[in-house]
Each structure stands twice: as structure tokens, then as C-alpha cells.
Structure 1
């Protein structure tokens, strides 16, 4: 079986790492799976890409399409043009895409136009928020791909409601959590830990990058002021996304308790997640990691494509309700947060299940062709 695995942006790397390891382990068991890793280059700076490859043991890509920068339309077009040439020259049995970034959608469309099967890891999740580019990417990808690997029963139900046949939906769990479990013993204390005199469970971790939160300077300032006024002098570690940094520089925001740092490598970032008192974020993936690690999490969005992190986990939606933000931060400080549980199949074995299912599907197809 020949698989082309696509990765383009930082969230993808955490999802493909355990899949590649599962393929290598399967081949040790005498399976014959060949894979080709394609990096679209959507995230192209060292902190957003290179460091993750090194820390997570991801091999160098077979090809980097170099499609960083530009508008979303320009980037989509560049990825499709270059990925088409890649597939013509190296045609696989199936293209494996993960997550919901621009690369996911662009490579799915390109493969399907060449009549190549596509399998989508993290299929079926929905926020219902059409202002998010990721929601468009998810829906387009799931409307045309062949096989759907889901993280939750809710995601599977979403696909069934979209008339996807049950035999193409595979509830397997969460590859992000595979990566988390595989690296918990390898976490690294960030170099600034001692400099800022950080202590376990005595700081908050914040991440903000959604356009709805960071593109308007006044709104971003309001969010940060609300956090500052609600944490009773606690420190906030704030890894600043490149798009957010530009806005912060425009408003000249500084606060001694909000410590702004560069984006971190995976091992350093998860160290910060694991040891935080609480997390304030607008990311989806971080809510999953917080849920598994049992860390209180506040999401500055009105909806989530990962509802299990709220219904089962440690996450709560805040939206733009800053009074609610303040109240919930006080609950965290007073150790009055809800107890969470880990969603089904978030057990570290998701990638093994994905590789096994794909192998059985495509080896069966080959056997049927030989028998015909």
C-alpha cells in the first residue's frame, strides 16, 4: 500500500507524527506500507514548523512545496498547483490529510480531481461558525473524501447526518492524544522558567490567534485587560502567535504579569500546559490536551468543534462574556473547577487503528483486482 501523507501547518505535525510511527511499527510486523511525506510549507518559519519536526521525530519530508505566505486564496491555489505535480509524479493508493487547515482542503480537492482516494483524519468535527476558515475547510474536505476517521461519536453522527455511509466512518479516537502520551516523559522545562520564577500550578497559560479575537486592537486590549484584572496578581505566560504580535506592537501593550514569549516547541509548550493553574485560549487543539491532562480551560469562542472537551472534559466556552471570564478565573484560583474525564478512545492507540484500517481496505482492494 502506498500512502501520501500531507502536513502543512503546526497543528498537522502533532497529528501525523504518531501515524508515521504506527506505519513503521506495522512494517516491523511484516506489513508492506510505503509512505511519502509532503509538507506544503503553509507554516514555514522555524518555530512554527522546523522545531516540531525535530522534537516529534518526524522525518524530513520527501518534498516541501514551499507554499507559505499570501492570502488564503493565493495559498490554496499554490498548494493545488504544486501538489498536482507531486501526485502525477508519485501516485499513491490514498492521500491522508489531517485536521482542517488550508492544506487539508487544497490537497483533498487536488487528489480527488485526479481520482485518488482521500482519507481524512479528524473528520466530522463541526463548530457551526462559518466565519472560521477552518469550518469551510472541514466541510469541503468531508464532502468529497472517501474515508473518515473521527475523534468522537458526535463527529461520526455529524457525518451520518450529511449522508455519509456508515461503512466509510471509522471512530478511532484522537491522534493528538497519541502524540501527547508518547511525549509526556520527554517534556522540557522552557529556558525562561527560572528567569520568571515560575512554579507549578501558580501561573496561567494564554494563547490567542483567532482573527475574531486578535485582529481588532481594541478587542485584544480588552481581552488582556480582563485577564489581568481577574487573576489576582498571578503570572500569565503568553506565547505570542506572529499575527498577534503585530497587533500588540501596534497598541504598545505591556504588563508585568503578562509575560509575552515566542512560540514554543512542542515539548516546552506541553510542559507549560501540564503545569499551569489554568488555560485561556481560542485554540481547539489545546482544549483536547487540557482535558486529558485535567487542566481547567477557558475558550474565548462562542462555539467549539470539540464539544466533548466541554461535556466530558475540563473546558468551558466564554465567548465575549468578560464577566463570565472573570468569574471562571476566580473559580480556578479557588480550586472550584469541575472534574473532567477523558473521552472514549483517547487512549494513545488511535494511529495504530488508523493504519490497520487503511491497510485492510487497500490490501483487500488489491486482492479483489488480482482475483478479477
Structure 2
């Protein structure tokens, strides 16, 4: 087949019209078929996973046109190009239109990542076919599935020094055979920008100070698959598990990074906020001054009221060996109940068949802080 000469760049007006840059086009004979200009484009049914093949079909094009292929405008470069165009991103040749102005089931492998390394996310994408003589730009939408997943178990993350377990599948690098390096960020859930817990400089696991921990190589059970237990900051500002800002007393969430945020240009860039796994961490205990007298509990707090869903429980503050200021924290099966920090707490459906108790923290200036926990009651429906 004789190839027509190609133009190396778009004229400025055409660039604006197509909103696509860097595309190399071909010239074509000025004679056009009667059906030119009524182009339609379709893709194979169903969502396709990155790395798998999408089938493209079209009609109403000019016979003999050779169509360049792009995805999401210029995010992936030119995917359909002939060898002599020397397009690095190309994974196939141009689509050649048949004598009837159509083509059918032309394969396109969906890239796993964009030209800048960002992962191909699940959702709606565009596939474009283009030429410049006659001027042609046509697109259609298609769906992709997720190529990776991540989750977190935060059931043991109720207090400073607790743990979270992060897990993931499909966290592969650009080679698709080796695991990505994964960074774990602990951020305040009530902040729009990333307000992350940071280790002291001597104990930071990575030059990016916002990364609290790295998923160790030993946590990967297969390429791209991991499960790792991460210890939370201990509420102090010293030592290997201390943080630059006191940790606790807020709601937090987990963010997982790979690629650019870790300075790894050969990896795929992911930035995943596990907002569905937000968790509340109690405030760290107050630090008593050296030589402070100990506060002692002489009678434990006691819960009163009917232990039934919908009823209000009350607690005494207990008796102490000195005049104290107290704070309350209600617990369900030993875990913090978010927002339950008063002397009264109403039993909800979540409390049914659970053991409810309350921890009372006593403080006094110049004295060592102390706590006492009331005897638990089991809530009836």
C-alpha cells in the first residue's frame, strides 16, 4: 500500500478546533465520498479493564482515510500511529477506513497509566479518531473498571499508639510484573488540604515528610498485593513513634500514595484517600509534671439508668483523693463511642447486646492524671 505524506504539526486554527495537540496527520485526495461527514463511532459493549482491549467501529468516514487514535484528549499521547511517525506512546497503527467508509472491531489496548504516569482510574473515558484532510475529529465514550483496590481496617485505631491495617491489590508498577512502593499518610479528616501526622526528622521513613510509613516488602504476598499493620503515633512528640504535632483528639483518615509522591518516576502514580475508613482517635493522656502528686480513685464511677435501647444512662464521676476536674468517655465493647463525652449517654441500636461502660479521667494542676472505669452494663433491645 502506498502511504500518503504526513503533516508534522497542526495549523493553529485546527489545533483550536480539535482541542488536541501534537497529532501528526496525513494528507488525502480532495475527492470525498458522498457519505463523508456523517461519521459515527462506537465501541465494544461493557467496561474494559486497563491493559485489556477495546474494540472500535465506525461508519460515515471517507474511504481510504487513515485515522489517528487518542484517548482523553492528549492525556495518553497518540495511541494509533504508523511506524514512520515515530510516536513513542503508539500501541497500534492508524485505523484505515474501508471503501464503504467504515471500519469494524479495530483493537485498542487501554493503557494502564497516562503519559505523566498517573494511573488510569475507573470511570468514563473518551476515545478519539482524527484526520486533517478532510478535517475529521470524532469521539465516543466508554467505561473502564478499576485496575487496583485499597482498604483499611481501623477497628484498633481508637487511641494514640493503636494500629490500622492497610490492604491492597493491583498495586503494580509500570512493568506490570513488580509491586509499587506504597506510602501511608495519616491525615486529619476535617481538613481540606493534607494535614498529615509527621515523624520527627530522625525517624522519617521517606524524604517526603508527609509519609508516616511505607508498606514493607515483606507485606506483599504476591506482586501488587499487600496487607500491612501500621502503628499510629503514640501521642507524644518524642521517639520513633512520636509526631511533630501531638496526635489524637480528632478524626483521621488514611491516604495511600505511589509513584510521583514518592519520587519514583518508574512507578505508576496513585493518590487514594480512604475516606470511607475515617476513624476517631481519643486525645492523648495529659503529661504530669515531674514530682507531681498522684491522683487516686477511692470509689469507681457507677452507671445508673435502664440498660435498654432508647434509654439514657448516667454516670457518677467517682470519688478521688483530692478535688479534681473530670472528663467522660463512653465505650462500647471497650471502643470509643464518637461524641459520647458527657455524664449522660443515650443507648442506641448500635449498643444493643453490647457492653457499655464509661472511663472517667481526673486532672488537677500539679498532680498526676488518673483514670477510673465504671462497671459495664449490657444493653437490651
TM range, normalised to the smaller chain? under 0.3
Q: Report the structure number with the largest CA radius of gyration.
A: 2
| Structure (1/2) with the larger helix percentage | 1
TM-score, normalised by the number of residues in structure 1: 0.19
TM-score, normalised by the number of residues in structure 2: 0.19
Larger RCO, structure (CA 8 Å, separation 6 or more): 1
